[in-house]
Amino acid sequence: MNKKKISIGKILLYVFLVIASIAMIVPLIWMLSASVKPETQIFAFPIRWIPEKFMWSNYVKVFTLYPFMTYYINTIKIAVVVTLAQIITCSMAAYSFSKIKYPERDKLFLGYLSTMMVPFQVIMVPQFIIMRMLGLMNTHTALILIGAFAPFGVFLFRQFFLTLPDELSESARIDGCSEFGIYFKIILPLSKPAIGSVTIFTFVAAWNDFLAPLIYINTEDKKTLQLGMRNFQTLYESNYGQLMAAAVCAVVPTILVFLLAQDYFVKGIATSGLKG
């Protein structure tokens, strides 16, 4: 009967997902395992997933050899501010690029978007010169300003807004609603999945950013986690145990943000309330 067929299909699906998920987190498990092993055993074959002895000293070293807590706080601060700035400014820009009509709109958007196609490596130096002229060397402000205005967020929001029918905003306009009101009270609430996505992507990108902090930050008290982790991997030493411990510590908040942002991935009520 039908019920039986569904169960088998679902069971297979679950089995497959479990296997795939394990495959996905294998490196994380390896990292956890390596973070508690002595250096000589980390790369030994055969790979030993559960170490004989748990060497927690790596974690202790990570927090004592370097101001890891400071790196943590710095990174959280930058990532949160950049994420909020992106959500606000990118959704506004996307609203303009999708819901307001003016002739040069789409060409402008393409020009804007095309800057994403230039690798950071070649704009690094001119950008650095500008930052220096603005006196923003060794500041978090510099990192925030770089991260807050990315075309990616605008593109994502715009794409999403385009799926919301124009009639929504048009009818609100006719009812006398201001543009900002339409944006804030109608479009944004319907864009939860987009907000959720941008939150995740932007937070993770800011969290894992390495090049910009390298260029703009000089002093230990302002460094971020990604910079801090490089301390464990110098030319003459390769302290993989400590590096992995640092990497494990660094990955936790991003997973948390991901889990929290999941609440935004609920079914949209996009087309309800719209008739005629």
Partner 1 sequence: MKKIVSSILVTAMTASLITGCGASNDKVEEVKKTGSNDQVKTEEKVDLNLYFRSTNADYAQQVVDAYEAENQNVDIELIKYPNTDYKDKLMVQLAGGGDVDIYDAGNSAWFGDFVSKKQALQLDDLIARDNFDIAPYGNAIEELLIDNKLYTLPVVDSLMVLYYNKDLFDQAGVSYPTEDMTWNEFRELAKTMTSGEGNDKIWGSYIHTWPQCWYGIGLQEGATIIDKDLTPIEKALQFRVDLEEDGSIMPYTESIATNAHYNAMFQSGKLAMSPIGSWHIGQLRVGEAEGNVNFDWDVVPMPHPEGVSPNTTWGMTGQVVIQPDTKHVEEAWDFLKYLCGEEGAKIFSENGVIAGYKTDEIRDIYVGDKTQKPENIDILFNQKVYLENPAIPGIEVVKTEIIDKESQLTFAGERSVEDTMKAIKERIEKEFNN
Partner 2 sequence: MKRGAILRKQSNENNRLMGYLFLLPNIIGFAIFTFIPVIAACYISFTDWDGFGKMKFIGFQNYIKMFSDKVFLVSLKNTLVYTIGSVIPLIIIALLVAMALKEGMKFVKVFRAAFFIPHVTAIIAIAAVWQLLFHPTAGPINQFLRSVGISNPPSWLSSTHWAMFAVIIMTVWKSVGYYMIMFLAGLQGIPDSLYEAASIDGAGKFRKFFNVTLPMLSPVMFFTVIIAIINSFKIFSNIYALTQGGPGYSTNVLVYNIYVEAFQKLKFGYASAQAYVLFMIILVITLVQFKGQKKWVNY
Q: Shortest gap between Cβ of 203 and partner 1 (angstroms)?
A: 24
Q: Which amino acid is at 167?
A: E
Q: Shortest gap between Cβ of 231 and partner 1 (angstroms)?
A: 6
Could you say which of partner 2, partner 1, none residue 48 binds, taking C-beta under 5 to 8 angstroms by partner kind? Answer: none
Give the nearer residue to partner 1 in terms of CB position, either 52 or 175.
52
For partner 2, which stretch binds (CB under 8 A), given 60-68, 74-82, 167-175, 213-221?
167-175
Give, as ranges, the residues between 207 and 236 that touch partner 2 (CB under 8 A). 207-208, 210, 226, 229, 233
Give the nearer residue to partner 2 in terms of CB position, either 11 or 60.
11
Q: Quick check: 276 binds partner 2 (CB under 8 A)? A: no
Q: Shortest gap between Cβ of 262 and partner 2 (angstroms)?
A: 5
Could you say which of partner 2, partner 1, none residue 69 binds, taking C-beta under 5 to 8 angstroms by partner kind? Answer: none
Q: Shortest gap between Cβ of 251 and partner 1 (angstroms)?
A: 20
Picking from 24, 19, 53, the residue whose alpha carbon sits closest to that of residue 36 is: 53
Cα separation, 154 vs 4, whole angstroms:
47
Could you say which of partner 2, partner 1, none residue 63 binds, taking C-beta under 5 to 8 angstroms by partner kind? Answer: none
CA distances from 138 to 120, 121, 134, 145 (A): 19, 19, 12, 13
Total number of residues shown for the chain? 276
Residues that bind partner 1 (CB under 8 A): 38-40, 43-45, 124-126, 128-130, 132-133, 137, 214-215, 218-219, 227, 230-231, 233-238, 240
Q: Find the binder of partner 2 among 76, 92, 177, 214 (CB under 8 A).
A: 92
Q: Shortest gap between Cβ of 38 and partner 2 (angstroms)?
A: 16
Q: Shortest gap between Cβ of 57 and partner 2 (angstroms)?
A: 19
